[in-house]
Amino acid sequence: MAGAGTGYPSPVSEPRRKLTREDYERGLPDHHDPTAGLLGAAPAQSALTLRLVLAAFGLVVCVVFGVLWLRTDLPAWPAVLLFVLGAVALVDLVVVARRKLRGEPG
C-alpha cells in the first residue's frame, strides 16, 4: 500500500506548494546523487545554461542545413530529418528556458 512510511507518494495527496528558488538551491526531495561524498566529489550540478546554448545551436544548424539541402536537387528526406531534429531542439530550448525562469540554478 502506498503512502505513509513506504517512501512512495500517496495516490490521494494534498496539493503541492509552488517551489521557490531556495527549494532548488537546497535540493529537491527524492534527488539522489550517486557520486555525493565519493572520494570528496563535489555534488552534481545542473548545466541548464550549457543545455540552453547547445539546444539553440542545434536548432540554428538544423534549420540552416535543412533549408540549404532543400535548395539542391538531392532527395528531400535528409532535410525533413534535419527539420525534425530542429523541432526537438526547439522543444528542449523551451523546456530549459522555463526551468531557468522558475529559478532552477544552472
Three cell numbers at 99? 526551468
Average pLDDT, the chain: 80
pLDDT digits (tens, 9 = 90+) for 1-24: 455 555 555 555 666 777 777 777
Three cell numbers at 29? 526531495
Mean pLDDT by 10 residues, the chain (106 residues): 53 68 70 62 73 96 97 95 97 93 80
pTM of the model: 0.61
| HSE, side-chain direction, 13 A CA sphere, residue 27 | 9
- How distant, in Å, are the alpha carbons of 32, 53, 65, 74, 82 from that of 61? 35, 12, 6, 19, 9
